[in-house]
Amino acid sequence: MNMKGGDLNGTRTSRINHLLDLSHARSSRYEKRVVSAQNIIHDALTALKRPYVSFSGGKDSLVILHLIRKESPDIPVLYVDQGMEYPDTYDYVGKIQKEWDLNLTWEYPEMNLWELYDKGGFLNPDKPTDPLIRKRFSNTVFYDPIKHFSDRINADGFFMGLRADESHDRKLNYLTRGFAYKKADGLTAVQPIADWSVKDVWAYITSNELPYNPIYDKTKFEERNKLRVAPFGLGGWHVSLGSYVFMKYYYPELWNRFCEKNPLARKYI
């Protein structure tokens, strides 16, 4: 795993990305966004008594984690293992936990995605899953473990690395609620880089030589900005759209195991 912010001796694309990242890191717009994020974090840490950081192993949550630890190095960090994570992500989270000496908790659902597939293969590769079914399974493998952790430490807020430009819903949430807002459960959600672009994220990672998830270097089928480190099981029906070519190529053993749960997947890839 690369722990120095990029394979500078790798492909021409990665070298170009590295230079573009460093160039963007010198722009005044980027510098203002970094200062703004630092101020948001400082204010939130001042106001909250028992906050934590939600860490997915992805690039955005990495930036949040690094920014926050400048002021609060021992802040609790939460990683939810939903079961169907890529091997690189498991390896990466474990290594950064050790090398950064993180106060990190691995939280597990009562039933992970593999076990849920065993119960009924909740994702059909031939059609999108019913939104209500998808929501129920998301609660089981992700939101319930988060609540268990939050209740256990008596948290009053948390930091997350969501950006408004990632989706319409996230943009609407940021425009209506801002950088910090109170949720229905009483916790304060803080999203310090909600106004950042993906260029800002990579500029921060590269200029600070942060260790990022090596999945972002697996760019045979997609450029790095389109790669996701989220659990692959929640997007199972996208097999019919060819989105699992990535897994079949880079993780053939994992692909075979996935197809045991979803035999129809092989007809698409």
In a domain, 233, yes or no: yes
Examine residue 189 and state whether it is found in any structural domain, yes or no: yes
68 domain residue, yes or no: yes
Asked if residue 54 is part of any domain, the answer here is yes
Instruction: Kindly report the pTM of this predicted structure.
Output: 0.89
Report the DSSP beta bridge partners of residue 180: 190
* Residue whose pair of structure tokens reads 């692959």 in the numeric block: 232
Contact criterion met (CB below 8 Å) for 76 and 53:
yes
The tens-digit pLDDT sequence of the chain (269 residues) is 444 444 433 477 888 999 999 999 999 999 999 999 999 999 999 999 999 999 999 999 999 999 999 999 999 999 999 999 999 999 999 999 999 999 999 999 999 988 888 876 555 545 555 666 667 778 888 999 999 999 999 999 999 999 999 999 999 999 999 999 999 999 999 999 999 999 999 999 999 999 999 999 999 988 999 888 988 876 554 555 566 888 999 999 999 998 888 777 787 77
Is residue 5 assigned to a domain?
Answer: no
Give the N- to C-terminal CA distance of the chain in Å, as an integer: 28
CATH number at residue 201: 3.40.50.620
Q: Does residue 124 lie within any of the structural domains? A: yes
**How far apart are alpha carbons 201 and 105 in whole angstroms?**
24
Q: Give how many domains the chain has, as a whole number.
A: 1
56 in any annotated domain: yes
> Is residue 134 in a domain?
yes
Q: How far apart are CA 256 and CA 254, in angstroms?
A: 5
Structural domain for 211, as ranges: 12-267
Asked whether 1 and 92 are in contact (CB, 8 A), the reply is yes
Widest Cα–Cα separation across the chain: 54
